[in-house]
Every structure is written in C-alpha cells, then in structure tokens.
Amino acid sequence: MKTNHRTIHREDYTEPDYYTPEIRMSFELNPESTLIRSVLSVERNKSKQHSPLVLSGECMKLIEVSIDGKKLKNGEYTVNDRELVLSIDADKAEVTTLVEINPSENTALEGLYMSGSMFCTQNEPEGFRRITYSIDRPDNMTRYTVELIADKKNYPVLLSNGNRISETELPGGKHSVIYVDPFPKPSYLFAVVAGDLDRISDSFNTRSGREIELNIYSDRGNADRCFHAMESLKKAMKWDEERFGLEYDLDTYSIVAADSFNMGAMENKGLNIFNSSYVLAAPETATDSDYLGIESVIAHEYFHNWTGNRVTCRDWFQLTLKEGLTVFRDQEFSADVQSPTVNRIMDVDSLRADQFEEDAGPNSHPVRPDNYIEINNFYTRTVYEKGAEVIRMIHTILGEERFMGGMKLYFERHDGRAVTCDDFVDAMQDASGIDLSVFRRWYGRAGTPVLCVDGSYDTEKKAYTLKLRQQNSDRRYPPDAEPLHIPIKIGLLYDNGEADLPNEGLIHLMENEQTFIFNNIKQRPALSVNRGFTAPVKVKSGHSDDELRFLFANDSDSFCRWDAGQSAALKSLRSAVEAFNRGSGAVYPDSLLQAYGSVIEDKNIDNSFKALALLLPSEQLICQEMNPVDFEAVHAARRSLKSAVAHNFRDSLLKLYQELEDDSAYSPDMESIGRRSLRLRCLEYISELNSGESIELCKNHFLNAGNMTDSIGSLRVLAGIDSPVSLECLSIFREKWQDNMLVMNKWFAVQAASSLPGTLDKVKQLEMDSAYNVKVPNIVRSLLVTFSRNQLRFNSQRGDGYRYIAEKIKEIDPINPSMSSMLAGSFKMYGRLDEARRLEMRKALEDVLAGPGLSKNAYEIVSKTLGMNK
C-alpha cells in the first residue's frame, strides 16, 4: 500500500525563504502545447538564513532557465516532477523560466486547462504550480504583468486579472494582449481565459462616484441566459457598500461561465470564473433554487474581493478566515434580498444534515484544521458552513455595531496582507473590548457540541432556573475538555405572550455546566432555546410532545417554530424505525398527524413556511444517532409517515394543490417561489396515494409545466414511482433537453436519487447515455455523486452499491482526483454499519487502496475512513 503521501502540519509553518514581488509572464496559447515564459523578481526573506531557491512546478516540461539573464547549464540546477531548485548568491535576482504544458490533457482541471474550446484556469489552492515554476503559497504576494498571445479567430477574447494596457495584431492571424494587475496578490488568485465568447456588459456606479464596467462572458449562444447573474452582481455590489461599507477597487469586473469546473466558482481578482451552472438561467431551463443559488454564489465571489483577496490567508490552514467569513456575508446578503426566515431554516437544515454528519465521521476536523495530506480535501462543510456559524456567533456576541467596528479594524490592520484566524479574532476583540479568549477555542475543536438543557420553575419565587451543560461529541476529546463559549438565545413563553428577558434572552455559556436564573417570571413558561440557531450545537431539550406542539403553534421565533415541528417528527420517526426493527408496523400518534393536518389547512401560514413545515426530516437526519443504521427501516418509516399524512388529509391536499395553481408568467420572486414549492410539496404527498388518479396528476403537472421548477419537480416525484407513465415522462424530457448539458444533469440526478429498487442498474445504464461524460464534473456529480448520497440504494445489503462506486473511484482518480475524492467521501458511514455491510464496504475500500498510484486526494479520504491514520 502506498503511504509516501506526506502529512503537512499547521504548527510547522515558517515564512517563505524568498518572495516574488513581481512576475512578468507571456503565454503562447495552444490547446496541446502552450509555452509560458515567466520572469520572476526574487527577493530573499531577510529574516531567513541563506538557502536554495525552491520553486514549485508540476506537469510541465522545463525548456530553459536563467538567472539574471545567464542561461543555466545542466548541473547548475536540479529539477524533478515537483520542483526546480536553484542557488542564488545575492539578495535579489531575476529568474526566467520557459516551460511547455498541455492544457488539453489536463483533466484534473487545476492550472490551465480546456473547458470545451475555451482556455481557463483554476489555481486555488495549488494550481499555479501547474502553469509555471513559482513560489506557490498565499503568503507570497506578487504584482503580475501578463501577455497573452493566441490565434485571433479561435480566441478573440483574451482575459487576465487587472487592466488591459495594450492589444496588438501579430503576423499569422495572431494577436496579443497585455494585462497589468495593480494589486499584489497570491498566485491562487491568478487567472487567464481565452476563447470565442459571448458577452453581456453593464456598469455600476460606486458610492464614491466611480463607474465600474461589468462583463459576463459565456459560450456562444448563452448570452441571453446571463442577465439574472448580472442583476445579482449589481445587487451584491450595492449591498456590500451599504451594509459593510465596502466598495469595489478595480475599473472592471468580469465573470466567465465555464462548463468544466471542479466546484461552484472562483474569486480570481477582477476575473471570477464560474461553473456555468451558477451563471446561466432562463425560466425554461433553471429552477427556483438555481435562481437563488446563482444570486448567492455571485455575491459570495464578489464579497471575496475584500474578504479573501484584499486580506488573504497566510497559509491554507487558515482557509476559514476567508471562506467562513465570506459565507457569513453571503448568507446575510441572501437573508436581505431573499428571505431571512426561509434562508435560515434551509441553511440550518443542510448544516445539520451534512456538516454534523461530517463532524461525526472519519474526516471530521476543526474549522481550522491542524494537518492535512491534500488541502483540496478541506474545502468542506466544516470550513465553509460551520466556519460561517463561528463568525455568526462573534456577530451575536458583539452585536452589529461592534462587529462592524471589528471589521473596520481588521481592514485597517491587514489590508494587502496574508493573515491568520487569530488576527481576525484579535481585531474583533480589540475593537469591541469584549474578551474572546474562551471563544477562540471553537477554531481548534472538531465535533458538534451537545447542549443539555434542564429548566425548572419555582411557583413561589416566580423564578425560572435554567441548567445548561455542554459536552463534546467527538471521541478525541475528554468529556471534560475545556469548555467553549457558546452564545445561546432563549425565550420564555407564556400561554399568551412571552417574558421580557434582559439582552433579548442572550446568555453566554462559558463553563461545562452553568445555571442561569430568571426572576419575575409570571407563570410556568415553555422554553424556546437556541433561537435563530445562535450556536451550531445539538440541543437535548427534553421537550415533551405537548411542549413541542405548543412551541410549533406559538413561538415568535420562526426558526424555533419550524424546529419544534422537526423535533416532533424526528421523535416519532425514530420510534417508528424501532417498531420496524421489532417487526411491527409503525403507528404515528394521532396528535402528530393532526398537527400536519392543521398546517395543511391553516390559511394564515405563509406558503414557503408551510412548505418547510411539511418537509419531513431527511433520511440522513433520522439515522444520525443510530448505530448500526437500518437503512431500510429509516426509509420505510419516512415513507409510511408521508403516506399516513397523504391518506388522512387527501382532500385538503388536493384542494390546496388546486388553489395554488397559477398561470402567470414565471418570476423568481419569493412569493411565487413559495407557492411553487408548496404546490410541489402537496404533489409529493399526493403521489403517496399511489392511485391511478395521483399518477395522472403528476403526469399532468409535468406536461403542463411552464418552467423548469415545475417540470423537474414533478419529474422527480415520477422518478420515484414504478410506472410506465414515469418512463414516458422521463423520455419526453430527455428528447426535449438532450442538447442542454445543465438540464440533462437534472435528468440524471432525479433518476440516481430514486428510491426504486432498480436504481443502481439504471445508473449503470445511464453511464452509457450519450449525454454522459466522465470528464465533466457537473455530470459526474449529477449521476454518481447523487447515487452515492442515495442512502437507501447506495447502502444496499448486497454491497453492490459500494463496489460500484469503488470501481468508479478507481476509474476517475487518474482523470480528476478532486472528483474521485468527492466520491470517496460517500463512505463516511463506515463506522456506523452492521457487520455485513461493514465487511462489504471494507472490501470495496481496500480494493481502491490496492490499486497503483492512488492520488493523495483519494488516499487521504479512504485511509482515514478505514481508520488507518490513527
């Protein structure tokens, strides 16, 4: 087994031996052979001892290297497949290299590669070393001058960061463009794009009166699907000025949509490159959630210009410095322009499903990791979403005004620098005068804290006593590990109204166990706890069914209202799973069914909230505390509750479904989105009636759909039904959209997510579809990653789901290690399987490890899953 993959430790950080304050580059772009000449001005770090200059470089052919204009001969340097080592005599030198690379063979999609016929780059975190020999680390800041030379007919558009200072016609049908980026930046923010692209343009006037030119580039024929992205960009620019006081700094801002892209989007300075799925939108092709996702991701990348680019990370262990903070900012933006309630609920729902699971699994890590084998594996839910919750807690503790004071100090101190998470917390602490020394522990602690809550009321003293106890769920820490500073918002609810609490009910748990007493409490209250999800913890509240029902009906905090409903459903679902295990059928308490009935029939609940209240906890969530997990029982329990609700409230569901029909033109506003999502939720329940009539209704919904939300929403329901009608609709859809990659991805995904027993065979068959392409990450994600997240079918008892995905990891690893490691993440339930499944999974994973030359990406995930690195 190959184990020569080195682990990098955070504590080993040292400053670079050399810096490159300036680089001049020239690219001669050809898909099969691109020549890159780079002139690096190299400066020795004065605090370092004399040492050789080590430049990183991978997947390239070195043609020549010179120092201060003198070409080096063999033996005057050493080079291998990872680095070029030179000896430098003076404190400064000019190092020139000429290398050749092959973008068309670059299927890893890091460095310079082809997305279709377009050249583009992805350099975060360590892609720049695939373009040229360099000091490829974020604490090395460089001013770039870049010349791009290419055939003018095939590549009329040539882009890089910063300002275009010249354009020249060259002999042989070529042209050359030169860019200068005035802002020094780390190499991971460097970008190049070349292609025959469509463009839409607009402009934005900053509050200081500067006019910024805005451009969105896409493949020919897609320009008319870029307008929503442009509107989103302008909204984000305005919002950042108003809320954070931050203005854009360059004269142009460009976004390029690429079809082949490993993740969502990339914040390259002044030249963002996006996965086309986060740019292109039209009512016929994009769903409501695509529209909302585009708005959020455009904002996220734009916000990085300050939180990420102007102030960047000292080293990759600090990744959450920019990602947690920028996710917090994009969540705040989306709450403002979309819906504070709906967004918060959906963010928390996905945090619990995915981040809590990650934090309980084999690849759990703190928001600021202590070590890694491959940094690409740490662009995780934890670093991003839990990281955003950590920032949100600082915001809660300080309050808006002091938090903004902290941001101001952070930029005053660190603009133009590469810094650490501690620098950020220092700025927040120094600006506010609030001690964050206990709070800081969040950065180093893996696992989800469990908060045990015990409340009691003293009728005589009119006092409410709240005992809070925090425990760490992660095995790596002793139960009495140093306590975290956990800010918790609570409310005490009376039969009508609620108690006035100091500080809006915000309390600070700073010890492992702490008691809080509230006086002047008129009557025994119901406790509403962790309002708005102030802290990313699991609350054990011990609420009875009656209390949950009361909170669901009366809590003024809409997050807690929703959460009370979820807790009640989860309790019943978990006991239903046990009933299935004992061989008896599940019986749901009448009160629970009645609660669903009254939600369906309530005229005063807003549609989007109603849709969320009727969303049953996911299978992922239901099984979270189970070991071993009984996947069949979990699925059956959830289905039987859905079906019980459908049968009990058939008429109300049908009535509501009809009332929600609307044939006005499509608009992605929150009200219409809420209406569509509730109507589809009704359809989902109705389909559980499994009658000729209900299938007919699904089919008509599909055939009459006037937008992609309704079309794919109904097709998703149909894909879970074993009926010729479903097959017919699936093929109508394919026929219509076969040439649209983004839409075909939705078609792959609904089939891979189906709970039908033939799903694995179907997935294998879809791999043969002419629209499938193993080299395009979006397609692989739609088919294979979706299947691997299909809990019921991936975890089939026979182990064939495991073997299949293991095979695919082996096949995809040499093509694209980011994708193979994402697939490897599917095996995170290893520690929570019954013996038979565990054996199957182990065999499948050992088979992956046994292959020759597994990438460090996949190696790290698989070996940690098998517990080999302990």
When CB distances are held under 5 to 8 angstroms depending on the partner's kind, the choice from Zn ion, ligand TRP, none that residue 428 binds is none
Q: Which is nearer to Zn ion, 198 or 389 (CB)?
A: 389
Q: Which is nearer to ligand TRP, 123 or 566 (CB)?
A: 123
Category of 602 on φ-ψ map: left (φ > 0), alpha (ψ -120 to 50) or beta: beta
Q: In angstroms, what is the minimal distance from the CB of 530 to Zn ion?
A: 26
Segment near ligand TRP (CB under 6 A); pick from 10-18, 90-98, 263-271, 767-775:
263-271
Q: Which is nearer to ligand TRP, 137 or 701 (CB)?
A: 137
* Residue 616 structure tokens: 């049953």
Do the beta carbons of residue 439 and residue 482 sit within 8 Å?
A: no
Q: Token match 């322009």: residue?
A: 337
Q: Which is nearer to ligand TRP, 301 or 813 (CB)?
A: 301
Q: In angstroms, what is the minimal distance from the CB of 327 to ligand TRP?
A: 8
When CB distances are held under 5 to 8 angstroms depending on the partner's kind, the choice from Zn ion, ligand TRP, none that residue 621 binds is none
Q: In angstroms, what is the minimal distance from the CB of 272 to Zn ion?
A: 11
* Residue 374 structure tokens: 């491959």
Q: Which is nearer to ligand TRP, 383 or 595 (CB)?
A: 383
Q: Distances from the Cα of 672 to the Cαs of 607, 662, 815, in angstroms?
A: 9, 9, 42
By CB under 6 A, what part of segment 319-348 binds ligand TRP? 323
Q: In angstroms, what is the minimal distance from the CB of 630 to ligand TRP?
A: 36
Do the beta carbons of residue 414 and residue 309 sit within 8 Å?
A: no
Say whether residue 263 binds ligand TRP (CB under 6 A).
Answer: yes
Q: How far apart are CA 149 and CA 27, in angstroms?
A: 6
Give the total of residues touching Zn ion (CB under 5 A): 2
By CB under 5 A, what part of segment 313-372 binds Zn ion? 323, 326
> Whose CA is closest to 112, among 193, 200, 11?
193
Residues in the chain: 870
Among positions 17, 58, 124, 684, the unique one binding ligand TRP when judged by CB under 6 A: 124
Do the beta carbons of residue 532 and residue 583 sit within 8 Å?
A: no
Among positions 25, 84, 159, 266, the unique one binding ligand TRP when judged by CB under 6 A: 266
- Scored b (16 or more CB within 10 A) or e, 177-209 reads bbbbbebebbbbbbbbbbbebbebeeebeeeee
Cα 367–237–214 angle (5° rounding)?
115
Measured in whole angstroms, how far is the alpha carbon of residue 506 from the centre of its chain?
29
Strands (E), 233-346: 252-258, 265-266, 271-275, 312-313
Q: In angstroms, what is the minimal distance from the CB of 303 to ligand TRP?
A: 9
When CB distances are held under 5 to 8 angstroms depending on the partner's kind, the choice from ligand TRP, Zn ion, none that residue 263 binds is ligand TRP
Paired residues of 94 in beta bridges = 41
* Residue 604 structure tokens: 């005063």
Tell me if residue 412 is catalytic. no
**641 phi/psi in degrees, rounded to 5:** -70, -45
SS3 341: helix
Q: Which is nearer to ligand TRP, 611 or 819 (CB)?
A: 819
- Scored b (16 or more CB within 10 A) or e, 126-140 reads bbbbbbbbbbbbbbb
Catalytic-labelled residue, pool 110, 126, 295, 301? 301
Q: How far apart are CA 748 and CA 585, in angstroms?
A: 34
Q: Which is nearer to ligand TRP, 147 or 860 (CB)?
A: 860
Say whether residue 180 binds ligand TRP (CB under 6 A).
Answer: no
Say whether residue 192 binds ligand TRP (CB under 6 A).
Answer: no
When CB distances are held under 5 to 8 angstroms depending on the partner's kind, the choice from Zn ion, ligand TRP, none that residue 266 binds is ligand TRP
Say whether residue 265 binds ligand TRP (CB under 6 A).
Answer: yes
* Surface-to-core class of residue 816, CB atoms within 10 Å of its CB (0-12 exposed, 13-18 middle, 19+ buried): buried
* Residue 587 structure tokens: 């019986």
Q: Which is nearer to Zn ion, 237 or 715 (CB)?
A: 237
- 9 to 28: interface string for ligand TRP, x by CB under 6 A: --------------------
> Whose CA is closest to 351, among 386, 316, 314?
386
Q: In angstroms, what is the minimal distance from the CB of 819 to ligand TRP?
A: 11
Q: How far apart are CA 450 and CA 536, in angstroms?
A: 9
Q: Which is nearer to ligand TRP, 212 or 383 (CB)?
A: 383
When CB distances are held under 5 to 8 angstroms depending on the partner's kind, the choice from ligand TRP, Zn ion, none that residue 379 binds is ligand TRP
Q: In angstroms, what is the minimal distance from the CB of 294 to ligand TRP?
A: 14
State the amino acid at position 103 in one-letter form.
Answer: P
Among positions 126, 240, 259, 267, the unique one binding ligand TRP when judged by CB under 6 A: 267
Do the beta carbons of residue 465 and residue 507 sit within 8 Å?
A: no
By CB under 6 A, what part of segment 373-402 binds ligand TRP? 379
Cα 302–306–310 angle (5° rounding)?
125
Q: Which is nearer to ligand TRP, 113 or 155 (CB)?
A: 113
When CB distances are held under 5 to 8 angstroms depending on the partner's kind, the choice from ligand TRP, Zn ion, none that residue 124 binds is ligand TRP
When CB distances are held under 5 to 8 angstroms depending on the partner's kind, the choice from Zn ion, ligand TRP, none that residue 710 binds is none
Q: Token match 């310079």: residue?
A: 112
Q: Token match 């690409």: residue?
A: 376
Q: In angstroms, what is the minimal distance from the CB of 532 to ligand TRP?
A: 25
> Whose CA is closest to 588, among 628, 539, 641, 535?
641
Among positions 218, 262, 745, 863, the unique one binding ligand TRP when judged by CB under 6 A: 262
Cβ atoms within 10 Å, residue 811: 12
Say whether residue 232 binds ligand TRP (CB under 6 A).
Answer: no
Q: In angstroms, what is the minimal distance from the CB of 193 to ligand TRP?
A: 14
What is the torsional sign of CA 759, 765, 770, 772? positive
Give kind and range of the element (H or E) at residue 219.
strand 211-219
Q: In angstroms, what is the minimal distance from the CB of 851 to ligand TRP?
A: 25
Q: How far apart are CA 723 and CA 123, in angstroms?
A: 47
- 94 to 123: interface string for ligand TRP, x by CB under 6 A: ----------------------------x-
Do the beta carbons of residue 656 and residue 598 sit within 8 Å?
A: no
Q: In angstroms, what is the minimal distance from the CB of 311 to ligand TRP?
A: 14
Say whether residue 301 binds ligand TRP (CB under 6 A).
Answer: yes
Q: Which is nearer to Zn ion, 323 or 684 (CB)?
A: 323
- 750 to 779: interface string for Zn ion, x by CB under 5 A: ------------------------------
Strands (E), 228-328: 252-258, 265-266, 271-275, 312-313
When CB distances are held under 5 to 8 angstroms depending on the partner's kind, the choice from Zn ion, ligand TRP, none that residue 840 binds is none
* Surface-to-core class of residue 804, CB atoms within 10 Å of its CB (0-12 exposed, 13-18 middle, 19+ buried): buried
Give the total of residues touching ligand TRP (CB under 6 A): 12
Segment near ligand TRP (CB under 6 A); pick from 62-70, 260-268, 445-453, 729-737:
260-268
- Can you give the binding site for Zn ion, defined by CB under 5 A? 323, 326
**Which residues form the interface with ligand TRP (CB under 6 A)?**
122, 124, 261-263, 265-267, 300-301, 323, 379
Residues annotated catalytic, as ranges: 301
